[in-house]
Amino acid sequence: MIIPSRTSRKSGLAIAFLLTMAASMFAADVIKVFILAGQSNMEGKVQSKLMEHQASDPKTKDLFKHWRKDDDWIVRDDVWIKFLGKHGGLTKGYGSGDRTGVELEFGNVVGNHFDEPVLLIKAAWGGHSLVKNFRPPSAGLPDESFLKDELEKAQKRVTNSNEKRNRNEALPTMDDIKSAYGLSYRNMLGEVKDTFENYETLFPSLKGKTLEIAGFVWFQGWNDQYNGAEKAYGANMEQFIDNVRTDLNSPGLPFVIGVMGQNGSKPAKGAMLTIQEAQLAMETMPKFSSNVKAVRTDVLIDKAAEKLYPTWKQNIAEWEKTGSDHGYHYLGSAIWHLRMGDAFAKAMIDLLPSK
């Protein structure tokens, strides 16, 4: 049996204590908190210029009219969001840079559902895997031989870089290699902890109110397609859900998984199919059957963007009215992201206790 590191488990217990204290210290209104975590597709990659165009184009503007008023973007005063260094009322632009992701429609649908205010905490970093960066504490570390091989490769890369650039950077150590495992998981918990400690400063209108974690959304998978990591995805996902619930002191926390869907209209295959199947299998496990939902995203594809994408370089002007990124980022399609955010929110609402 592999024992989780003492550091990560202590951090989790500290957060659990903090959340319990937050719920008991205040007696004012409750704020429903939803955590949105994952890699680049949870960051959000829809460019603003595409949103501006489609929100005014007669062919598409009705899809986005609930996000706007008087030809401007609504900033909600009952749904707040914190995404790393950005925070405020929910509106467009809470993705990478000034881009937008699934959080906008998710927050609008969930915000409309609740009488209570809603707070979204988004913890997402591009290129981060479940097998390494978000590795749950109970998964422990890989075998020592695997770590030694990883260390040798890392040291070789630095040595070659030093020789090529005439530098003298220190070589990675085994501690450096080990510390990278689970770092994003710990940083995710750190984002939650920071928000609970500082929400009254970040969001002055929430002063004196009680934060209550209501649900968790996971949207990730791309970087687990390599080096056989997809084979461990199911086991890692199960432990991830269990560990998150323990570390947030929230048994049975409603959990929505956005299933990888970059395959779009084409059937998934290979590692992507393996990950899809692992994600879908979570909701069929007896212990998760009442509190986990896996939402397919390929069936929500923006077919206009999919059709145009193969020749986007030859039709840039038309493409910029339809999509804004590559296939691995769901084509940067505002329509696809809206549909996914809506589906995630409705799945979450289905899992929540009746009002």
b/e sequence 296-325, b meaning 16+ C-beta within 10 Å: ebbebbbebbbebbeebeeeeeebebbbbb
Examine the pLDDT at 17 and tell me if it is beyond 60.
no
Give the per-residue pLDDT at 2.
Answer: 28
> Is residue 213 over pLDDT 60?
yes
pLDDT confidence bin for 39, thresholds 50/70/90? very high
pLDDT averaged over the chain?
A: 93
Does pLDDT of 38 surpass 80? yes
Q: How many residues does the chain have?
A: 355
Average confidence (pLDDT) over 231-240: 98
> For the chain, percent helix, then strand, then coil, each to nearest 5?
55, 15, 35
pLDDT tens, position by position, 77-109 = 999 999 999 999 999 999 999 999 999 999 999
Q: What is the mean pLDDT of residues 23-48?
A: 84
Percent of the chain at pLDDT exceeding 90: 91
Q: Please report the pLDDT score of residue 14 as a whole number.
A: 58
Residue ranges and CATH numbers for the domains of the chain are: 6-139+181-351 (3.40.50.1110), 142-180 (no CATH)
Band (5; pLDDT cuts 50, 70, 90) = very low
pLDDT-derived band of residue 22, with 50, 70 and 90 as boundaries? Answer: very low
